[in-house]
Amino acid sequence: MENARSAEIRRKQRELLFPNVGTYYQEPLALESGKGMFLKDVEGKEYLDFYGGILTVSVGHCNPRVTEAVIAQQKKLVHVSTLYATLPQLELAEKVVQIRPMQETAKAFFTNSGTEANETAVALAKEATGRQELVVLRHNYAGRSTLALSMMGNKNYRPKTQSEVPSIRFAHAPYCYRCDFGLKYPDCGVACAKDLKSLIETTTDGEIGAFMAEPIQGVGGFITPPKEYFEIAVPIARDHGGLFIADEVQTAWGRTGGKWWGVQQYGVEPDIVTSAKGMANGQPIGLTLAKASIADKSKYANISTFGASPISMVAASATLGVIEEEKLLFNAQLMGKALRDGLEGLQQKFQGIGDVRGMGLMQAIELVKDRASKEPDPQGTARLMEAARRRGLLIGKGGLYGNTLRISPPMIVNKGQIDDALRLLGEALAEALPS
Ligand code: PMP
């Protein structure tokens, strides 16, 4: 039974906010505090957090080092805008340039969100190449601006009355579980990647400004391309004049285990990379990092009022410091393997788990009514979310059909917590899915 405080919060949520502010669960969960791997709701119930506020809390809720950096900066200097130089901005820029995923040196532009980071990247790619046409992937999610909505590869997030940015083409996603060609990897020869050539040559003027893709499609349900995908797709894009923009809003900062960037798992280098989410452990931030030779081609006056906020800059520097000193790239790899093994174990037990996929601490299970037909099971997924919540475990949801669980704990997670989460998930699966 919910208490009076929860009921009041839910009433106000309905009364005061846009009705399309989607929340998880039948009744939104009202959270009040967080520490490390745990969150507490307004009734004092504790939850093990295996979603991290959409892969954003990288180093644990209210991480003391990040919190102290933010408080100290709050007392010193809060805001000046990008019109002035600040040390926090340059210190962070120095760090991200040092760990960049491209060989050539790079330059950074800081904003407040993944959407803005992607806007900046696409504007730069168009300016640098002098070309307008873009190729993105089906199942893509790039944000909530008009450009990002025009690049949306998921009908659930497309407003019906949106005027679109033209010249965007959608390539087949490397979604092996539901292959558009009805093929099986590796016999498929990664046909989805090769199709990029035909897409560009038949539906554009033959030369594009950019090919933009997430190394692992986050909102799409952690769709994880086969290992050769980008080695095939990126040269095709470059042969047709396009830059490769890696949208690492979800996949950067060690999330995929062992490497700073998701794209490094695929042996290709981006021309431009964007990120946000996990970079500052919850402070608003967006990063567009481009090869210096490309960044130098941008000539229009670029300004962001809240971009490079000293608060977000020091939060990000502290977050990256924690990731480095606590060896969280390695931890994400190790714990990711334990999580993956556990999920594969659950797949043996539950027929409803059609697919297990992901990398590092970015793991998903896709739920189906029947393994042969692969009919999606969004109702079972919703029941599973509720059942996990009742047991004190928070996980995320995604995928075009709302039938994929996204499991992405903060990267400080330990083996005991992985085991606890798997046990709670197993109990929730037993309750939510037909046996
Ligand atoms: N790109 C990707 C891959 C994302 O997952 C998201 C957010 N889910 C965005 C861009 C947009 O980021 P934001 O919500 O910070 O604008």
**How does DSSP assign 378-397, residue by residue?**
HHHHHHHHHHHHHTTEE-EE
Q: Are residues 205 and 308 in the same domain?
A: yes
Q: How many domains is the chain built from? A: 2
CATH number at residue 304: 3.40.640.10
CATH number at residue 354: 3.90.1150.10
Give the pLDDT band of residue 4 (cuts 50, 70, 90): confident
218 in contact with ligand 1, CB cutoff 6 A: yes
Last residue of a domain, one of 293, 325, 357: 325
Last residue of a domain, one of 325, 350, 370: 325
Reported pTM: 0.97
Q: Are residues 373 and 311 in the same domain?
A: no
Last residue of a domain, one of 325, 360, 379: 325
The pLDDT tens digits for 290-299 are 999 999 999 9
Asked whether the beta carbons of 215 and 246 are under 8 A apart, the reply is yes
Q: Are residues 234 and 137 in the same domain?
A: yes
Q: Are residues 258 and 400 in the same domain?
A: no
CA of 373 to the centre of ligand 1 (A): 31
Q: CA 65 to CA 379: how far, in whole Å?
A: 41
At 61, phi and psi to the nearest 5?
-60, 135
Q: Are residues 74 and 131 in the same domain?
A: yes
142 in contact with ligand 1, CB cutoff 6 A: yes
CB atoms under 10 Å from CB of 91, counted, come to 13
**Amino acid of residue 172:** H
Q: Atom 1 (ligand 1): residue with closest C-alpha?
A: 142
Q: Are residues 186 and 304 in the same domain?
A: yes
Q: Are residues 15 and 154 in the same domain?
A: no
**How does DSSP assign 58-115, residue by residue?**
SS-BT-HHHHHHHHHHHHH-----TTS--HHHHHHHHHHHHT-SSSS-EEEEEESSHH
Domain that holds residue 43: 4-59+327-432
CA of 257 to the centre of ligand 1 (A): 20
**DSSP class of 154:** -
CB atoms under 10 Å from CB of 119, counted, come to 21
The pLDDT tens digits for 196-255 are 999 999 999 999 999 999 999 999 999 999 999 999 999 999 999 999 999 999 999 999
Q: What is the pLDDT of residue 346?
A: 98
Q: Are residues 186 and 176 in the same domain?
A: yes
Q: CA 363 to CA 359: how far, in whole Å?
A: 6
Q: Are residues 219 and 312 in the same domain?
A: yes
Q: What is the pLDDT of residue 2?
A: 61
